[in-house]
Chain A
């Protein structure tokens, strides 16, 4: 049996009420709110979040491959799945690929993972899907889009939803696009996009799948498929296919609270569906974009044994509203800003971050074999790697010790108004890890007024900066999210 063995999701903590866009620009506000990736988040960091949620207690060394699907990769030339493998502590002898440029990259990644496992090349593949698409300021698209991620682990053991069949359509049609140099999403007149694109191509793939399996709409407990840019067309497409509204995994909730999350949309909806699913449920899962991919899933008894996930439900509830549109502009770097007159940052040194990749991307520290003290060094002078024990001075007598999954408590903190940051003040914490080890970290996704000594925090993988085309990733602390 091949299918989904675990799932996870991620929605940024920050949301913005769509009224804020109207306050800034006038015009008409779409109801609801949208999720806004923080200044230190991108598709890579959101993928890591969703993947960590998905892996839970699963040994990452059992994963044989990682497919990262996105239309918003931070790189044109550099594989992000290889990077994402580092914070997740995946093995080195695995197959990694970035699946990009299409809004159905997410479902295509699932199809490729399925086929790789079927071929016997791998027995477990992790698919992460994330998007943080940008629209030019001032339009309705800016209000409609949202940021988020999902992760699906496919494999042969402990399958919670068997993938029984798949069917794909390839079609050159694209209602939205970005050229090699475009920052913002472009689109054609929406009536043509809907009538000739979405409303024809998606149903074709869904019908194709049903014909292939000999099933009809009534056989499905849930139909999970991408909405169009105009979410109202979703229901119309479903009705045309013969689905009852009660069978639909309604995208409206996601749209009203998070926004259209690009190639991650269908997979995030699938996670919502799996959170509610019962053994024996048949689920239709389809993604749209330059054609469509459709899958038949059947939920197994194992779903009841899957441990707690933050998934969609908990991430949706845990949020902080941005107070104004300016923060959004600043975080997306959409307006030039005056720099504080502070000393300039130094260039990123590729050799140094490469040398310390496990320490920086994996949050690997050491535990002294002699005195047993766990240690992580994030110091000003960067004396890492640690060669001599801070406690007993034993040299080179350590075992690897990972801090990424450990909770910690705030030992002390400051909110620094002087440091130049995108989300002032710079909240910096000195934290004590459960089981030992102490280090300084930036504190992100926090309300400065609520930070106290003794507060529990967890580690989160974030973007530190961009320099000469290199995005520098590292870990930050944050109050326990949910």
Chain B
């Protein structure tokens, strides 16, 4: 690799709306709320922004999707889409522009207004010939759980209990977060007795569908302290797009996500991280379903293959554990307004690194990792961002 983003770009301001079924808010409400918080946080104004990137899948087209509500004045604005990693893609666009020395101050916004469809779920799962198998999104991740249980000899009860503990942990964190969609604490009994969505995943194994937006203002590392004493630096930005061989060849085990492993390893290399479990202070990962979080812990080298259960049971990923995961509650408590999720994750890491996470504050974090995974486990686009002081 010719270059690295490490310590070349700093985040100097961030904003994030409350996530939820925001019936009374349109896309412009979400965008303006998130961005105005970021402006204020960075101490900049709209006129200071030199270029902007917008990450959304369903809620806008073109750069106009944010230049219009924000009334950005004739600057370059680009909309990007990279499945569930669209928010990270917006960050990447802005960070690379700053690192390239083209712009000094850039804005990245991720947003999605999903709750105007009148239906539950996320549209767009069909193929061109309408011959796609009749599965919902949860079904594709359920197949991973079936396989994981089978491969590692977990009975359905053992497997479901392992997954339940992931959701219980995340809901505990979410209950402490005023911006979360769901703030209810869960019991094991509640999770295990919840209605089945796609066997073996029940209701609380799945994240919700919500509206939300998050924004970040980026500048050159050498300029960052002019804006604030505690900027957060980008250490790594990696994306791995699947060749989608996993559904076509017998080699793929469907108990890991190769793209997550590769994006994670590339990010560790870029950030100079040798021992991820020791060096990473906290992680926000793409827990669209509880099984995804379990497998991601193994892909990111936090737990040995097939043994995440031990770490889940030991409380390793609790807020007060060795490596807190989803300190803000994760997708599990925020839902997944697709374009917004990646930047929402960074927002939590940013607050934590600055010691501003209130009841959720982790002691003295140094490095945080955000991981997004788009599409299905056998054919995803995965993005991994590492940020730190």
Contact = CB atoms under 8 A, between A and B. Distances in A.
Interface of A: 341-346, 348-349, 352-353, 356, 360, 373, 375-383, 390-391, 411-421, 425-426, 428, 430, 432, 436-442, 448, 453, 464-465, 467, 472, 474
B127 interface: yes
Nearest to B120: A341
Contacts of B198: 414-419, 425
Contacts of B135: 414, 416, 419, 426, 428, 440
Contacts of A379: 127, 244, 247, 379
Given A352-B129, A378-B133, A426-B139, A344 B376 contact: no
Given A418-B136, A437-B248, A425 B126 contact: no
Interface of B: 117-136, 138-140, 142-144, 146-147, 150, 195-201, 243-245, 247-250, 252, 254, 375-376, 379
A341 B120 CA distance: 6
19 contacts: A342-B120, A342-B136, A344-B123, A346-B126, A348-B130, A375-B248, A378-B131, A379-B244, A380-B376, A414-B142, A416-B136, A416-B139, A418-B198, A426-B135, A438-B247, A438-B250, A442-B134, A453-B146, A472-B130
A378, A381, A440 — which one has the most chain B CB atoms within 10 A of its CB?
Answer: A440
A476 B249 CA distance: 19
B144 A343 contact: no
A436 B251 CA distance: 10
A448 to B, nearest CB: 8
Contacts of A375: 248-249
A373 B129 contact: no
A448 B199 CA distance: 10
A380 B131 CA distance: 9
A380 B134 contact: no
A416 B252 CA distance: 22
Nearest to A355: B129
B128 A430 contact: no
Contacts, number: 168
B248 A439 contact: yes
A355 to B, nearest CB: 8
A345 B126 contact: yes
Given A415-B198, A419-B136, 4 more contacts: A379-B127, A416-B139, A438-B248, A441-B133
Contacts of A439: 247-248
B125, B128, B197 — which one has the most chain A CB atoms within 10 A of its CB?
Answer: B128
A342 B130 contact: no
Contact of A411 (B140, B147, B201, B375): B147
A442 B133 CA distance: 5
Given A343-B122, A344-B119, A412-B150, A380 B379 contact: yes
Contacts of B122: 343
A239 B247 CA distance: 62
Contact of B129 (A342, A376, A382, A438): A382
B125 A414 contact: no
A411 B249 CA distance: 11
A413 B146 contact: yes
Contacts of B247: 377-379, 430, 438-440
A474 B129 CA distance: 10
Given A380-B376, A441-B133, A373 B249 contact: yes
Interface of chain B, main secondary structure: loop
B120 A381 contact: no
A425 B200 CA distance: 12
A343 B121 contact: yes
A335 B134 CA distance: 22
A352 B128 contact: yes
A418 B197 contact: yes
B132 A378 contact: yes
A349 B252 CA distance: 32
B147 A390 contact: no
Contacts of B143: 412-414, 428, 430
A413 B201 CA distance: 12
B122 to A, nearest CB: 7
B134 A428 contact: yes
Contacts of A348: 129-130
Contact of A426 (B134, B252, B379): B134
A356 B129 CA distance: 8
B124 A343 contact: yes
Contacts of B126: 345-346, 380
A418 B138 contact: yes
Contacts of B120: 341-342
A382 B124 CA distance: 12
Contacts of A418: 121, 136, 138-139, 197-198
Q: What are the 10 closest A-B residue pairs judged by CB atoms, nearest first?
A: A382-B127, A414-B142, A416-B139, A343-B123, A418-B136, A390-B245, A416-B198, A412-B147, A474-B131, A415-B199
B134 A382 contact: no
A218 to B, nearest CB: 55
Contacts of B254: 411-412, 430
Contact of B127 (A381, A391, A436, A453): A381
Contacts of B197: 416-418
B106 to A, nearest CB: 31
Contacts of A453: 146-147, 150
Contacts of A343: 117, 119, 121-125
Given A411-B254, A412-B150, A453-B146, A360 B249 contact: no
A41 B190 CA distance: 40
A412 B125 contact: no
Contact of B249 (A378, A417, A438): A438
B109 to A, nearest CB: 25
A82 B135 CA distance: 30
Given A349-B129, A375-B248, A430-B254, A421 B119 contact: no
B379 A391 contact: no
Nearest to B119: A341
Contacts of A474: 129, 131
B147 A464 contact: no
A432 B127 CA distance: 21
A467 B133 contact: no
A436 B250 contact: yes
Contacts of B133: 378, 426, 428, 440-442
A157 to B, nearest CB: 37
B140 to A, nearest CB: 8
B120, B122, B123, B132 — which one has the most chain A CB atoms within 10 A of its CB?
Answer: B132
